[in-house]
Amino acid sequence: MKLVSFLYGNASRVGVLEGDQVRVLPLDRGHDVGSLAQKAAQGAPLSELTAGADATVALADVALLPPVVKPGKIICVGLNYKDHTAESDYQQPDYPTFFLRLTTSLTAHDAPIERPLASDSLDFEGELAVIIGKAGRHIAKESALEHIFGYSVFNDGSVREYQFKSPQWTIGKTFDKTGGFGPAVVTADALPAGAHGLDIQTRLNGEVVQSSNTRYMIHDVVELVAVLSEAITLEPGDVVVAGTPSGIGWARNPRLLMRDGDVCEVTIEGIGTLRNPIVDEARN
């Protein structure tokens, strides 16, 4: 099942994407995919939560929002593909490299990713996004997949100059409107366990710049959930962004960075294609 969040009647709503049509779920089901996941975690069967409709509208006629509009936590994973670690000139760490994003960094499918005024070093990173569906702390690997609601597509737009201003990366990874997210969440039951074995590809202006498969993640979804929950209570609607493969623009010679007028697309097999135009941040 594919679920989307969108503007409908000037309000955030959640719906079921069926082909090129969106079935608008009744307002009591939630205002986005995150709130729907929270209701499912409280025991309501997803089949019941996604039954019925207030209306059916064409996908082309709605403005999509990030599937989880304001996640409680956005936890990103760096250096999770060996080829990306190598191109970035790092030693491969044994422990997952975690950093955080803020909700103000998110932007929806077909909405702009902004190249900030502060720097011209905006880079692309196509990634798998994992949406938590069941709360937990100290989650065993054997039960980790029970805590996954679904999966989406993410472009971890990175302002490299700021990423490397300090030993930790957060500031360069959370500029406003640099994190493309969407278009939909595919529920976990519709994909291979742990979203394993899915092709992932990033294209800049139609040219393939990253091409890999989620089977090459060093720390898979099961391990990420288990390790994170050693320290952090994961909650429904939280988002874990699971790392990028090689091909980033910063590692190329000459460097390939995103500019005003570019279009960046990230496709993950079985989930969909996230597309974002690149625009320069407006001067006030």
Tens digits of residue pLDDT in 201-243? 999 999 999 999 999 999 999 999 999 999 999 999 999 999 9
Residue 203 contacts residue 256 (beta carbons within 8 Å): no
**pLDDT grade, residue 247 (50/70/90)?**
very high
Give the chain's mean pLDDT: 97
Provide the pLDDT for residue 81. 97
Domains, the chain: 2-64 (no CATH), 74-280 (3.90.850.10)
User: Tokens standing for 56?
Assistant: 């059916």
**pLDDT grade, residue 9 (50/70/90)?**
confident
Mean pLDDT throughout 116-139? Answer: 98
Question: Does position 283 have pLDDT exceeding 90, yes or no?
Answer: no
pTM exceeding the 0.85 threshold for the entire prediction = yes
Number of residues assigned to the chain: 284
Sign of CA dihedral 38, 41, 47, 49: negative
Task: Tell me the C-alpha distance between 83 and 212, whole Å.
Answer: 10
Question: Does position 284 have pLDDT exceeding 90, yes or no?
Answer: no
